[in-house]
Structure formats: structure tokens, C-alpha cells
């Protein structure tokens, strides 16, 4: 008789356990979202550095160096022009002498303006090359960030699906999910049975 009572109690316990209300997939998904939220709160990730900031700073230095080199080259041309003007014979007295001097100065200025234009033309491809390299670096950084974001999302989706599969296999109860949804800390979440 004692054995029969034990068997009866075991059958009732199994039936009771089988009748416990199972959590729906939507409830399990909400519990997983809560788990992710609590994990982030417990282990905050450091803010990701924007690679565009670093790239912009790096290229700003390169542009500054190139502009400085260009300005130095133009200053040297200006110094040559000043020396060439100073080397001109002084204007002779009279209107014709002043006009001849002014024409000579204009000719020197025209010659050195052409030299400045040539120097600027020499630097133009270097500036264009730097702009292209900067744009390429920014695009590569944006592509890498987009790929990393897509990979992270794919991994998060995979983890969520695995969590849902495990919950279904473990026959997670609604009571456990309700307990998990009420949890304020990760420790509380993990204690739910």
C-alpha cells in the first residue's frame, strides 16, 4: 500500500508539473530582452571611439603641413620679387622716367605672379591627393563600422534564437518568466526558477 501511495504521489507530481503553464515564445523573448538589458547594466561597454574623428585629426595635420610648405614656397617667391624690384634702376626724373619705372615694376610683378601660379599648380595635385586619401579612409572606416554593427546584430539575433530554443527545450514556465521580468538586477534574474 505504501508503494502504491508513493507511485500515486509521483504521478500527481508529474501531472502537476506537466500542467504548469508554459511561457509563450513572446514572453521568453521579453525575458531575453530583460536579460540583455541587465547584462548591459552590470557590464557597461566603453563608448566606441568614432574613427572619423581620428581620421579627420590626422588629415588636418597633413593638410596643415602641406599648406605651410606652400606658404613657405610663396614667401620665397615674394622675397625674390622684392629683391628683383629693389634691383631695378631708380626712376629717372620726369614723367617718362616714372612711367618706365612703373612698367618695369609691373613686368617684374607679372613675372613673379606667373611663378606663384606655377607653384600653386604644383601643390594642387598634392591637395587633391590628400582629399582623396581622406575620403577613402573615411569610407573605409564607415564600411568597417557598418560591418561590425551588422555582425553584432547577427550575433545578437543568433543568441536570442538560442535562448528561445533552450527555453522551449527546458519547458520554461510562465512563473519563471514573470519572475525574470520583475528582476531589478542580473543576480535576481538568474535566481528565478
Instruction: Please check whether residue 172 lies inside any domain of the structure.
Output: yes
Number of domains in the chain: 1
End-to-end CA distance of the chain: 34
- Name, in order, each residue with C-beta under 8 angstroms of 98's C-beta and a sequence gap of 6 or more: 91, 92
Percent helix, strand, coil in the chain, to 5, is 85, 0, 15
Reading the chain (193 residues) residue by residue, the pLDDT tens digits are 455 545 444 454 444 444 567 877 788 788 878 788 878 877 777 777 788 888 999 999 999 999 999 999 999 989 988 888 888 887 677 777 788 888 888 898 899 899 999 999 999 999 999 999 999 999 999 998 889 889 989 998 898 888 888 887 888 888 888 888 888 887 877 788 8
Cell of 30: 521579453
CA-to-CA separations, 170 to 23, 25, 28, in angstroms, rounded: 11, 13, 12
Which of 24, 46, 25 has its CA nearest to residue 160? 25
Structural domain boundaries, residue 171: 19-191
Instruction: Please check whether residue 8 lies inside any domain of the structure.
Output: no
Q: What is the rounded distance in angstroms from the CA atom of residue 45 to the CA atom of residue 70?
A: 45
Residue located via cell numbers 599648380? 121
Taking the model in full, what pTM does it have? Answer: 0.61
Instruction: Please check whether residue 156 lies inside any domain of the structure.
Output: yes
Instruction: Please check whether residue 9 lies inside any domain of the structure.
Output: no
Instruction: Please check whether residue 7 lies inside any domain of the structure.
Output: no
Instruction: Please check whether residue 100 lies inside any domain of the structure.
Output: yes
Instruction: Please check whether residue 6 lies inside any domain of the structure.
Output: no
Q: What is the rounded distance in angstroms from the CA atom of residue 123 to the CA atom of residue 81?
A: 20
Largest separation between any pair of C-alpha atoms in the chain: 144
Amino acid at each position: 500500500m505504501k508503494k502504491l501511495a508513493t507511485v500515486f504521489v509521483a504521478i500527481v507530481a508529474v501531472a502537476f508539473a506537466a500542467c504548469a503553464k508554459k511561457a509563450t515564445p513572446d514572453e521568453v523573448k521579453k525575458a531575453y530582452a530583460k536579460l540583455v538589458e541587465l547584462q548591459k547594466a552590470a557590464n557597461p561597454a566603453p563608448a566606441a571611439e568614432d574613427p572619423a574623428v581620428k581620421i579627420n585629426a590626422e588629415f588636418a595635420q597633413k593638410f596643415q603641413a602641406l599648406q605651410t610648405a606652400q606658404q613657405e614656397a610663396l614667401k620665397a617667391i615674394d622675397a625674390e620679387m622684392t629683391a628683383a624690384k629693389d634691383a631695378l634702376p631708380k626712376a629717372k626724373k620726369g614723367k617718362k622716367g616714372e612711367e618706365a619705372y612703373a612698367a618695369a615694376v609691373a613686368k617684374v610683378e607679372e613675372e613673379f605672379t606667373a611663378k606663384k601660379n606655377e607653384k600653386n599648380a604644383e601643390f594642387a595635385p598634392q591637395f587633391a591627393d590628400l582629399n582623396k586619401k581622406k575620403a577613402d579612409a573615411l569610407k573605409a572606416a564607415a564600411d568597417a563600422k557598418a560591418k561590425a554593427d551588422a555582425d553584432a546584430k547577427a550575433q545578437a539575433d543568433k543568441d536570442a534564437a538560442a535562448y528561445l530554443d533552450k527555453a522551449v527545450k527546458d519547458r520554461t514556465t510562465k512563473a519563471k518568466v514573470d519572475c525574470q521580468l520583475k528582476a531589478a538586477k542580473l543576480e535576481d534574474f538568474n535566481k528565478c526558477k
